[in-house]
Amino acid sequence: MLSKGKIQYLKSLQLKKFREKSQEFIVEGPKLVAELLKSDFVVKSIFATSEWLKQNMDIANGKIEIFEVSQSELNRISGFKTPNQLVALAEAKETNLILDDVLNDFSIVLDGISDPGNLGTIIRTADWYGFRKIICSNDTVEFLNPKIVQSSMGSIFRVPVYYANIVDLIEKLRPDFPIYGTFMDGKNIYNESFNESGMLILGSESHGISKNVEKLVKIRLHIPSVETKAESLNVSVAGAICCSEIKRSKLKNS
């Protein structure tokens, strides 16, 4: 049986301030916990029903603290309306962005993304297309938010996410480094040829790329529409199209 204090602590990790204070977060459900266990994140504890434990008791290899919980206890610690067999407690990783890694790679940069579902989907898309780095502005939603962990479908454990002052970062790059951004008045993305390294900036859902970052964009891209009354694309959809075009261009030129 879990103590009242343990239950309260796990529930507190649904909130950002407690995740930041403890540097710990929770992962829920068999599929995501399996992805977590394959990653280099440190898993501290697993809280699971007897049904799950009967089939998976050897998964921790004696290195992870295992707690058998009742369905009632799982309901109390889960953030889901319908909890699914187990919750894992993991440590957040300290991530340090190295400038040379940025210069030698193609990074997805998110400027002020606020919706957890969008960030989770972008992380999943980046993983699918082989992008190994996502850089977020400091006002972008925290990536260990449970909704993001869930919507990334495990990609969050494979694609490193960094936070930085975007303007400061861009100003440290060499003058000819390609900085792409998405705009309504940009060049047709389908006619663009992308380099092996570069930076694609996607702006916030409400305001797009911020003015101070926009000034540093060198290549303005636009995703053209067929005749429609839709004002714009969702940022995660736009990100998926851009990732696909960058990948296609690089494959074509390889």
Determine the Cα–Cα distance for residues 129 and 123; give it in Å rounded to an integer: 10
Distance CA 34, CA 39 (A): 9
pLDDT in tens, 61-72: 667 899 999 999
Same domain, 106 and 195: yes
The CATH number linked to 54 is: 3.30.1330.30
Could you tell me the CATH number of the domain that includes residue 152? 3.40.1280.10
pLDDT at res. 14: 94
* pLDDT tens figures, 204-235: 988 899 999 999 999 999 999 887 767 788 99
Please tell me whether residues 144 and 104 are part of one structural domain.
yes
Can you give the residue range of the structural domain that contains 27? 4-91
Predicted confidence at residue 69, as pLDDT, reads 92
- pLDDT value at position 24? 97
Q: Domain ends where: 48, 71, 91?
A: 91
* Total tally of structural domains belonging to the chain: 2
From the CB of residue 50, how many other CB atoms can be counted at a distance below 10 Å? Answer: 11
Q: Strand, helix or coil at 103?
A: helix
Same domain flag for 104 and 81: no
Choose one of 40, 70, 91: the last residue of a domain. 91
Q: How many CA atoms lie within 13 A of 185 on its CB side?
A: 2
Mean pLDDT of the chain: 92
Q: Do residues 166 and 56 both lie within one domain? A: no
Q: Is the pLDDT of residue 37 over 70?
A: yes
Q: Map 104-156 to HEC letters.
A: CCEEEEEECCCCHHHHHHHHHHHHHCCCCCEEEECCCCCCCCHHHHHHCCCHH
- Does 235 lie in the same domain as 127? yes
- pLDDT of 21 higher than 80: yes
Summarised one tens digit per residue, pLDDT across range 51-97 is 998 888 777 566 789 999 999 999 899 888 877 889 999 999 988 89
Q: Could you tell me if 231 and 112 lie in one domain?
A: yes
Residue 112 sits in the same domain as residue 237: yes
pLDDT of 60: 58
Strand order through the sheet with 219-222: 161-164, 134-137, 106-111, 198-203, 179-188, 219-222
For residue 47, what are the β-bridge partners? 67, 87
On whether both 47 and 30 belong to a single domain, the answer is yes
**Short-list 170, 192, 175, CA closest to 247:** 192
Q: What is the mean pLDDT of residues 31-52?
A: 93
Please check whether residues 185 and 85 belong to one and the same domain. no
Q: How confident is the model at residue 245 (pLDDT cuts 50, 70, 90)?
A: very high
Nearest to 48 by CA among 73, 13, 24: 73
pLDDT digits (tens, 9 = 90+) for 123-142: 999 999 999 999 999 999 99
Residue 102: per-residue pLDDT: 95
pLDDT exceeds 80 at position 1? no
Same domain, 195 and 108: yes
Whether 71 and 125 share a structural domain: no
Model confidence band, residue 252 (pLDDT cutoffs 50, 70, 90)? confident
Regarding whether 114 and 75 lie in a shared domain, the answer is: no
Q: Answer whether residue 98 shows pLDDT above 90.
A: yes
pLDDT of 32 reads 95
The residue from 91, 122, 152 where one domain ends is: 91
DSSP secondary structure string for all residues of 227-240: S-------HHHHHH
Rounded to an integer, the average pLDDT of 109-135 is: 96
